[in-house]
Chains A and B, each alone.
Chain A
Amino acid sequence: MKRSKAAVVGAAETTQLGVIPNMSQVQLHADAALNAVRDAGISISDIDGIATAGESPESLAHYLGITPTWIDATGVGGCSFLMHVRHATAALESGLCRTVLITHGESGRSRIAAAGFPIPVQGSLLQQFETPYGTTGPATMFTVPVLRYLKAHGLGEEALAEVAVVQREWAAKNPRATFRDPISVDDVMNSRMISYPFRLLMCCLVTDGGGALILASADRAKDFRRPVYIAGTGESVETPMVSQMEDFTTSRAFRVSGREAFQSAGITHSDVDHLMIYDAFAHLPLYGLEDLGFCKPGEATAFIRERNTAPGGKLPMNTNGGGLSYMHSGMYGMYALQESVRQVRGIAAAQVPDVKISVAHGVGGMFAASSTIVFSRDAH
């Protein structure tokens, strides 16, 4: 493994998760930020770099009283916060700032001063070439490639149901998870049809919440209580139109981002003790397991069915319950990062024994963007 350049030195979610009707979007950012600052044992005045998506960095800086000298407002959907970690690592390494705050907050369910789901810009590629045919929200676009994936690999719709069942097992161990009652494949297959072939329990929740991270250079990290080192990072984009993916059975952005993260960390798949794959819908962990190289094309379903990602399995995945059962405010990436950090720190609700390396992998838009972060317990 290569030597880490930066570390997460503070991490926290909002005090509440789920339905939070008494907090606006910017309040959720601030609540998470203050919790993370407290976790790091620093004060707001120590922060000189900020990164956020869904909320403007100007609002964040003003609301918290921060005077930043480094700002990142990369906003490519749910994996933006993983990209912020990658960009912050580079900024810390090059001395552009010393202490970075990354925040997410979204009133996804209560819609209190919420930014709202992006409506295609008039004249944009999406608005010209997909919207006229009746696409609306993510359920009508994100799901487009999956029928091709299932047919190419000779799989049935139950492949999607099994993802949801295993993740509910993890959620059952997590007191903060929104849905905790066990479900069966039949429960998923009998749930209400949303957008063929996706049924209700194959789709993420819609909840309120937020999360924040504090990053510092690896040289300073040892001065903090529980640093989690950034060992490697990756990012990429493909297309804003899901219909124009190069191949419906695999995401180019996933492959490029994952390869870059593993190579920059200097790790192989057998080094990974814990994995988070952003699951806005049940097909994403299948694509993620294959595009990151943990499974060969078409083999992720069997890998999950054989309980490799379940409690007690060799590659515990989405151990908070994921977007399908834990929480999903709209841009879930921050919660994947938070669970990776908890697992490496050894404080997760469903703690995996002795996690030295955790990988968090995110998606943005409808396979439009991706980012991958490799976390390490040791600086190396």
Chain B
Amino acid sequence: MNHKSRTADIHSAKAEQQVPWLEWLASAIGLLLVVGIFGVIGWQAFNGATMPPAIKVEIESVTPVEGGYRVLFRAHNTAGEAAAQVGIEGMVSAAGADTETSQVVLDYVPGHSVRQGGLFFTHDPHSGSLAVRAIGFAKP
């Protein structure tokens, strides 16, 4: 009996010791997260988060698909503000043929972020010159 109650005492003592340790861990993680998040947001406040969007388009790949060619691109917003309704236009101009234009609209390109998309052409972009650029955006 005596022995039993002693083990119970040890157990409850252990539990009392363990709880603050876990609590400290949880609060340390919480504090780190909060400080980290506020740090990142505060940092962008002083680093051009309100610069209007500037969108750079890079061509990733050109692949023949059924009915034409698929051009994959990455639109990279190099400024801090997000852009909405970003129009992307691609032009294939081959010698002796009409210029072919394809367009697509990206819903959002957040600041300093990358969105991917694709354009379809019926003429081979390799046969002439291919230019893809952003033609406009709206403020979200």
Is B one of A's binding partners?
Answer: no
